[in-house]
Amino acid sequence: MPHFADRLEAAIQAKGAPICAGLDPRPDWVPQSFFDAAINAHGRTPQAVRAAVRAFCLEVLEVVAPFVPAVKPQAAFFEALGAGGWDDFFAICARARELGLLVIADVKRGDIGSTAEAYAQALFGRHEIKGIMIESAHVDCATINPYLGSDSVVPFIERARLNGAGLYVLARTSNPGSAEFQQLHLKPEGTLVDEVARRIDAWGSESIGECGYSDIGAVVGATHIDAAHHLRKLMPRTPFLVPGWGAQGGHVAAVRACFDEQGKGAIVNSSRGVMHAYAAGPLKDYGETHWREAVEQAVKTFREEIAQLAAEPEA
């Protein structure tokens, strides 16, 4: 399996823009027609809710696949579907792979030692128990949380690398409260995020792809231009995953600062703005019956905006 950063770069080249479609299926925003069909098949049961959400996600994948190199399913919304939700998450990941999309599992996991290894087993490759193969979600990349330190991150790194996959480690997130701990000032200088960034750079330095980027990325919320510039400098070989486009109010200049001079080194995510385009935002006049057109229009606009932005990183 080629290096994760090279696979990502090839996929970005093939689709024409460094973008990622987030799959955050909020049940209230799944078009009613999916619920009607699912309730018809399964009655008014939790199974029907799961079937509706799964069917919608699968159709969204078909609509966005020609335009995006990667998708980012958000585990929380699948777990919230109840006991079977993890099964739906796996199904979405499998279909995305079939469509040739890179899958970034947004799971933000973090734990220590053999527990971290178990989380990684759930995501990457396959493992054997008593001679029986257990398949993971087979994702290409996952988000993880660094709070517990290097020995919580290394098991993820090892298992990801073994499978040609990558990681995005939370550095500076895009929420309003992100500064509370992440921007605490350290002695003698710098912030917690700086320290996390230095570790991310070090972890990634062990494995640099032909494209010049490593397989250990960073989540960098594009809500602060200075922070983006600063983190780009601290982590010159680290691929960034940039949430916050669209619904979360990312700023164009801050997103641009996440790219290098060649317009490389970052991928920008939009979740609600694409998959729920019909339900909120500038395309909501499409309405539920035209949700497909709304998603297609939203992903095309998103692609154009980010392709242009990446092409003029120093503008």
Task: Please report the DSSP string for 210-276 in residue order.
Answer: TTS-BSEEEEE-TT-HHHHHHHHHH-TTPPEEE--SSTT---HHHHHTTS-TTS-SEEEEESHHHHT
Residues 312, 315: Cα–Cα separation, whole Å = 5
Show contacts with its own copies in window 39-78 (CB under 8 A). Answer: 39, 44-46, 48-49, 74, 76-77
**Please, are residues 20 and 70 in contact by the beta-carbon 8 Å criterion?**
yes
Least gap, CB of 13 to its own copies (angstroms): 30
Residues 168, 145: Cα–Cα separation, whole Å = 9
**Please, are residues 281 and 302 in contact by the beta-carbon 8 Å criterion?**
no
Distance (Å) of CA 124 to CA 92, 154, 156: 15, 14, 9
Residue span 225-264 as binding mask against its own copies, x where in contact by CB under 8 A, dash where not: ----------------------------------------
Show contacts with its own copies in window 177-196 (CB under 8 A). Answer: 177-182, 184-187, 192, 195-196
Show contacts with its own copies in window 101-160 (CB under 8 A). Answer: 108-116, 118-119, 121-122, 127, 129-137, 145-152
Residue 233 is among the residues annotated as catalytic for this protein: no
- Is residue 162 at the binding interface for its own copies, with CB under 8 A as the rule? no
Which of 181, 284 has the CB closer to its own copies?
A: 181
Q: Angle CA(163)–CA(121)–CA(14) in degrees, nearest 5? A: 40
Residue from 15, 108, 264, 284 carrying the catalytic annotation: 108
Which of 179, 225 has the CB closer to its own copies?
A: 179
Which of 116, 257 has the CB closer to its own copies?
A: 116
Show contacts with its own copies in window 14-43 (CB under 8 A). Answer: 24, 26-28, 35, 39
Which of 41, 134 has the CB closer to its own copies?
A: 134
**Please, are residues 275 and 60 in contact by the beta-carbon 8 Å criterion?**
yes
Around Cβ 189, how many Cβ atoms within 10 Å? 7
Give the number of residues in contact with its own copies, rule: CB under 8 A: 76
Q: Hey, which residues are catalytic here?
A: 108
